[in-house]
Amino acid sequence: MRILVVGGGGREHALVWALSRSGGNDIICAPGNPGIGKLARLYPVEASDIRGMTGLAGEKDVDLVVVGPEAPLVAGLADTLRAAGIPCFGPGREASRMEGSKWFAKEIMQAAGVPTAEGEVFADAGSAMDYIGEDAGQFVIKADGLASGKGVFLPSEPSEAAEILNGLFSGKGGDSGQKVVVERRLIGREVSILAICSGTGCVVLPPSRDHKRLGDKDTGPNTGGMGAVCPPPELGEDFAAAAGDTIILPVLQELAGRGIDYRGVLYAGLMVTGDGPRVLEFNVRFGDPETQAVLPLLGSDLSELCAMAALGQPLPARVDVIDGACTCVVLASGGYPSSYGKGYPVSGTDDVEGAFVFHAGTTASDGGLVTAGGRVLSVAAVSDDLGSSIEKAYLELGKIRFRDCYFRTDIGR
């Protein structure tokens, strides 16, 4: 198959690696990055350029498009590709509201009987404050639209909640501030589930855990993710399959009942509470950096699964999973997720042995590889158990150097 992968981050590097593993596929990627360029031909089309991307897919006569980021999906890339007769692994615009609108996702969950935090949607700060009352620490405030991970707030005092709500409704939150979802705060441990979906069927990949906070011991601001492990050690063998039955399938059926055919990844961010798993959020794409920790343990051929899903064909009941564990640690630019420098030379990536180096914010310059983003690279190591995969990842990432390199020292611990 000739496959076009859309995007250019660490997730897309892991996807290109997994899609090219069988050796039978010809992979192209747009816009890609220097790491992906070693595995695939790159084309300078931005992920947000729907016409350009559809044109590229047609011109290169691809058999399948696999979309990495959410923004082009929410903007309708999959619909445009399908209208042009090109199979796409990624949901259409309507289905992408599962990520694009927190309230749409909540409504679907309520209708499908999927466990989630109790919540309501508000169009003004006053009624949201009436709902929250005096116990602000019991609630979470979420901007309704896409907010690149910056739309979720956990206030501790009513005054803080009021400030957040006023900020969102005064437009500080941009378009995402027009509606706000307020929900009950859940307590437990977070787990990410990635399900490959083909209409009303799905197959669930092994569960993983993202470390979203910037600092060790889960301190500091939320980020896109500073590292991930697969699988979280405390989960039983059947966790993923059970999540498929109780969370993913009911959602797919509810969507199908509304005429929405979901083909792509449905990512469920779960809080495993004392009363079982509850959904915190859905994403309509692979997680980053979860993908970099999950795909190295996938024994099944990802390209076959994606093609079956894109064509609406039945999926196998289970995927093959390699025994062991994978730890992925993100190397970021000091200052991320706020402001950080760029253009610093990166060395040592070729010295890493027996672990993956996935590129995210790198670019090629005359002098070699340089930093170009907040999350620069990630190093992922597979081993027999979590402890040794953590050790291996940290040993190998120590070989990589760039100015202001920052990483958490406790991923998986």
- Residue 265 CB, shortest distance to ligand GLY, in Å, is 11
List b or e across 237-248, with b for residues whose CB sees 16 or more CB atoms inside 10 angstroms: eebbebbbeebb
Round to whole Å and give the CA distance between 315 and 295.
Answer: 18
Interface with ligand AMP (CB under 6 A), residue from 94, 190, 216, 261: 190
Residue 147 or 395: the one with the smaller Cβ distance to ligand GLY is 147
**272 touches ligand AMP (CB under 6 A):** no
- Residue 267 CB, shortest distance to ligand GLY, in Å, is 7
**280 touches ligand AMP (CB under 6 A):** yes
- Cα–Cα separations (whole angstroms), residue 273 to 2, 139, 171: 43, 16, 34
Residue 222 or 363: the one with the smaller Cβ distance to ligand AMP is 222
Interface with ligand AMP (CB under 6 A), residue from 1, 129, 152, 405: 152
**223 touches ligand GLY (CB under 6 A):** no
Round to whole Å and give the CA distance between 10 and 360.
Answer: 4
**Three-state SS at 209:** strand
Residue 163 or 190: the one with the smaller Cβ distance to ligand AMP is 190
DSSP-assigned states of every residue in 222-235? E-S-SEEEES-TTS
Round to whole Å and give the CA distance between 47 and 34.
Answer: 16
**212 touches ligand AMP (CB under 6 A):** yes
**117 touches ligand AMP (CB under 6 A):** yes
**337 touches ligand GLY (CB under 6 A):** no
- Residue 186 CB, shortest distance to ligand AMP, in Å, is 4
Q: Which stretch binds ligand AMP (CB under 6 A): 56-64, 168-176, 183-191, 315-323?
A: 183-191
- Residue 142 CB, shortest distance to ligand AMP, in Å, is 6
Comparing CA positions, the residue from 270, 226, 221 lying closest to residue 248 is 270
User: Quick one: tokens of 166?
Assistant: 């006023």
**140 touches ligand AMP (CB under 6 A):** yes
Answer left, alpha or beta for residue 76, where phi above 0 means left and psi between -120 and 50 means alpha.
left
- Residue 143 CB, shortest distance to ligand AMP, in Å, is 10
**Three-state SS at 237:** coil
Residue 121 or 357: the one with the smaller Cβ distance to ligand AMP is 121
Residue 268 or 307: the one with the smaller Cβ distance to ligand GLY is 268
User: Quick one: tokens of 134?
Assistant: 């005096």
**215 touches ligand AMP (CB under 6 A):** no
- Residue 285 CB, shortest distance to ligand AMP, in Å, is 13
DSSP-assigned states of every residue in 103-122? HHHHHHHHHHT--B--EEEE
Interface with ligand AMP (CB under 6 A), residue from 269, 324, 348, 387: 269
Round to whole Å and give the CA distance between 263 and 260.
Answer: 9
Contact in structure between 263 and 184 (CB atoms under 8 Å): no
Residue 56 or 268: the one with the smaller Cβ distance to ligand GLY is 268
Interface with ligand GLY (CB under 6 A), residue from 91, 145, 225, 231: 225
| Contact code string over 280-299 relative to ligand GLY, x by CB under 6 A | ---x---xx-x---------
- Residue 368 CB, shortest distance to ligand GLY, in Å, is 29
Residue type, 262: Y
Round to whole Å and give the CA distance between 181 and 212.
Answer: 21
**How many chain residues bind ligand AMP (CB under 6 A)?**
12
Answer left, alpha or beta for residue 409, where phi above 0 means left and psi between -120 and 50 means alpha.
alpha
**114 touches ligand AMP (CB under 6 A):** no
- Residue 308 CB, shortest distance to ligand AMP, in Å, is 28
Site for ligand AMP in 26-85 (CB under 6 A): none
- Residue 307 CB, shortest distance to ligand AMP, in Å, is 29
**Three-state SS at 305:** helix
CB atoms within 10 A of CB 257: 11
Q: Which does 190 bind (CB under 5 to 8 A by kind): ligand AMP, ligand GLY, none?
A: ligand AMP
Comparing CA positions, the residue from 292, 238, 242 lying closest to residue 268 is 242
Binding residues for ligand AMP, rule: CB under 6 A, are 117, 140, 142, 152, 183, 185-186, 190, 212, 269, 280-281
